[in-house]
Amino acid sequence: MDLRVSKDAGAIDAIVAYDVASAEEGIEASVLGGLKALERDPKLGLVFVGDSNRLDKTAGYLIRKNPSLEAVLQRADFRHAASVVGMAEHPARALVKTNSSLAVCVNLVHDSEADIWTSPGNSKAVVAYSRLDRGYFDKNTVSLEKECFKMRTKALKPGLLARVPCRGGGIKYVCDTGGVVDPSSDILVNYAFMTSKYLELVIGLEYPRIALLNIGSEPGKGGLIYREAYDELARLGDSGVLNFVGNREPKDIFKLGIADGFVSDAQVGNTFLKASEATVDFMVDMMRKAVCEQHLLRRLVAAYSLRPVKRAIKSNTDTTRFGGAFLLGTRYNTVLTHGAAGVDELTGSILYSARIVRSGVSQDLFDVSSGHLRS
């Protein structure tokens, strides 16, 4: 089945396969996020993947509420998916669903009907699907154990590259924040290579600074895996292959002039992100409580004067505007979004996906089987 959206006419320069079915916020928020992305990006083509009947009804309802969105449907298409991978499903079980929304998205990219895919679904399942080839889905009988064994024994595994706001309105990059909890030192080194390449091609940084996210800045800090990774990264830094700036602590992510990209395992990276988000919420809540404890006049003055401060804090630390995180080291370009993402974050993920396509980044730049970056 051919898609209505294509690059043949020249009006579209990036086509994103969008998993609508997996979002926790429901199909209305998912479809609205997609329509808003099309409205903001006039050269974007979008393939909505999910239950086609529900997609048609929801899109129609939203357009009746906001008729101005009807024009963007010329750059949209719907592709049916018969099933959805649940958030709690084990990746091995999820892979059996060859007609799921995740599988349909991957096949669209594999068949060159889309350039990239994005999903707010089960993160482990998204990683697993993004590493499979089309032949896996074409089999009449799935050799699940064999395929999963091959995936487990590959030398390198994908890393999730997250964007973090820092001082001065800047952005720092952390890899890994959700891919591999217990990597080897070789995987951490490869994360450094892939992050560096991404920062060069997508962000336009020349010889970006890469740090190892650790419990201290001195050499020899951290567990065995981190010490081994440090030694190898230091050797590569001395030879000029990589701009390695040593161990850095989590607080350094928010500072300017320290490093551009930070490398860690998924547990450290994901814990850092969640702790940072919780800290912002805690500080804003403490400000609110402090105001409420004042006398009425002081409370009114404080509430009025602190309102722009709270608004600035939330605005500068709001990661929903970034959208999702890019998976490095997979077969297909993939952007993973938070499962509970709202409309704005889903829109941001789609726009971010289109930006990656336009940068020319391809997973072919990364050799995920030998541990070295392709030149």
Where are the domains positioned within the chain? 14-155+329-365, 159-273
Banded pLDDT at 169 (limits 50, 70, 90): confident
Task: Tell me which residue has tokens 């089309």.
Answer: 134
Check for a shared fold between 14-155+329-365 and 159-273.
yes
Chain segment 74-120, per-residue pLDDT in tens: 999 999 999 999 999 988 888 888 899 999 999 999 999 999 999 99
Average pLDDT over every residue of 294-314: 67
With a CB cutoff of 8 Å and minimum separation 6, the contacts of 67 are none
Per-residue pLDDT, 365? 58
CA distance 338 to 127: 14
With a CB cutoff of 8 Å and minimum separation 6, the contacts of 215 are 221, 222, 249
Average pLDDT over every residue of 153-177: 82
Average pLDDT over every residue of 347-357: 94
Chain segment 110-152, per-residue pLDDT in tens: 999 999 999 999 988 998 888 876 555 554 334 444 444 344 4
State the CATH class of domain 159-273: alpha beta
Does position 267 have pLDDT exceeding 70, yes or no? yes
Cβ atoms of 143 and 155 within 8 Å: the answer is: no
CA distance 232 to 216: 18
CA distance 19 to 102: 7
CA distance 193 to 201: 12
CA distance 48 to 6: 14
Does position 289 have pLDDT exceeding 90, yes or no? no
**Domain 14-155+329-365 sits in CATH 3.40.718.10:** yes
H helix or E strand, kind and range, residue 149: helix 144-153
Per-residue pLDDT, 178? 85
Does position 297 have pLDDT exceeding 70, yes or no? no
CA distance 76 to 224: 50
